Every structure is written in structure tokens, then in C-alpha cells.
Amino acid sequence: MVSIATWNVNSIRARLAHLSTWLGEAAPDVVAIQETKVQDADFPKDELAALGYHVLFSGQKSYNGVALLSKRPATLVATDIPGFDDPQRRVLAARVDDCLVVDLYVPNGSEVGSEKYAYKLSWLDALTAWVATLMASEPRIVLLGDFNIAPDDRDVHDPEAWRGKILCSEAERERLRALTALGLVDVFRSFEQAPQSFSWWDYRGGGFRRNEGLRIDLILASAALGIGCAGCAIDLAPRRWEKPSDHAPVIAHWTA
DNA sequence: ATGGTGGCGCGGCCA
């Protein structure tokens, strides 16, 4: 694996042309997709296979849904957090060569204190317990996706306005720290980055035009993988295209 | 507290 990307496409059917164009330009070896918003029977697998990718997916009607595209064959490992009963399709783990790739669409949480927020925190606790067991036997593991958490104030356009709010609350950040404390590195922060680097901007109020965003799309690598990582960048180009996703893709690369 | 925009699927939910 030379490069791996994550992109919340906000409907794979609405974004298929964007995805195809971007895959042709960026040519990532592995792509974790979130918010496919389609049940498996309607997933555009033939279109993506025609672009040279093996395709795994776990979807549902209208909401959520994840997929993994890979130039090399992938074998499915899990589409659920073991023991966490959840009809929402947010997890896809697969082995690609000697790496375990875990595509995640973390719950948004809606509003601090809400029922959805409690679900988000319990989901994150279950995830961390599972990843702890995985890391005991998987030296080369990467967790990537839409984490719906801005790790710290550098990842927020207006930290004071967002303080304690959903995507930024201390309980969410504490959960993310507990996860990374298992031995994962946020590879984006392993390299010098421009200030005000974000991966998501609300459609409303011209958020992207004003760069009023958050960095909530993350690539977390185990030490054995993180050591060799040669760079990580947010590709802003697709966010400027007509009818874009509200997220930009994030891509990390390794030297061959 | 609300509303601003977008996707799904055709009213209202979710982000």
C-alpha cells in the first residue's frame, strides 16, 4: 500500500462522477468511503470495478453506509463492532495485503446531551475496546474515516464558538484520546500543515468560501505503519467542484 | 432558539 485515503462523499450515487474523477487524478491504492447512503443491492459496484478497484461495502437505505475501494484484493474482516448490536452501517474492516484497514463513520451525535450524543459516546467506547483487542495481534493497522470529532482547537475555525459543542465537546475529545492512546497516530499531525486546515465545511452560510470548517476526517495509523508514512494532505479541489460533498478527501502516502 | 443547504425519497429525518 502506497497511499490510502478517506472521503465522506455524502451519497455515493450523487457523487459518483466526482469520485470517479478524483480516483483518476489521485489514484489512491485504498479509499475508505463514508455516507454512501445506499442499500447494498443498489451500490454502484460495477462502475467502481471498471475504474480498477476491488469494492467492499456495507450500506443501508438513506443513511450512513461505508465502502472500501482497493487496487489490490481485500478480504472482509468485519462490518460491526463485535458485541455492539447496531443496525446502523458505520464500520467496515478489511485486510489488504499485510494491513488491517478499518473504515469508520462515527455517529454525528446531533447535540451534546441528546440521545444521539449518548449513542455516539457508547459507540466510541465499544470501538476503543474492540481496537484494543485488534492491536494485540495486528501491528499494521489503520483506522480512518469521518470521526465527527475535531481532535483539538487547531482543528476548529472558531474554537471559542465551538467550545463544548457537538464535534468538539470534551467528552468526545476524551474518547478520541483514549482511542489514540492505544498506540495510534493522527498522521496528518506528523507533518507540518498550514494553519486553518479543515476537512468539512457546513453547506449552510457559505462555510467553505469563508473556510469556516473543522478537521474531523482522520487517518490513525499504528506505530509500525505511522513510522514509514511520508505525508498526509487534505485535497481541497473536489470541495470546489459543482455540487460537492461537504467533506474533502484526506490522503496519506508511504514511500514504495 | 432558529435557520441557513443538501441528500433521500416524496414528508420529514439527518447531517
Predicted pLDDT of residue A256: 74
Q: What is the 3-state secondary structure (H, E, C) of chain A?
A: CCEEEEEECCCCCCCHHHHHHHHHHHCCCEEEEECCCCCHHHCCHHHHHCCCCEEEEECCCCCCCEEEEECCCEEEEECCCCCCCCCCCCEEEEEECCEEEEEEECCCCCCCCCHHHHHHHHHHHHHHHHHHHHHHHCCCEEEEEECCCCCCHHHECCHHHHCCCCCCCHHHHHHHHHHHCCCEEEHHHHCCCCCCCCCEECCHHHCCCCCCEECCEEEEEEHHHHCCEEEEEECCHHHHCCCCCCECCEEEEECC
Predicted pLDDT of residue A63: 98
The predicted model scores a pTM of 0.98
Distance in Å from B12's C1' to A72's CA comes to 41
Q: Per-residue pLDDT averaged across A59-73, rounded?
A: 98
Give me the percent of chain A exceeding a pLDDT of 70.
100
pLDDT in tens, A177-230: 999 999 999 999 999 999 999 999 999 999 999 999 999 999 999 999 999 999
Average of per-residue pLDDT values in chain A = 97
pLDDT in tens, A21-37: 999 999 999 999 999 99
Which residues numbered 103-122 in chain A sit less than 7 A from strand B, measured from CB? 107-108, 110, 116
Which residues numbered 144-173 in chain A sit less than 7 A from strand B, measured from CB? 148
Enzyme catalytic residues of A: 105, 146
Distance in Å from B15's C1' to A95's CA comes to 30
pLDDT band at A144 (very low <50, low <70, confident <90, very high): very high
Distance in Å from B13's C1' to A85's CA comes to 22
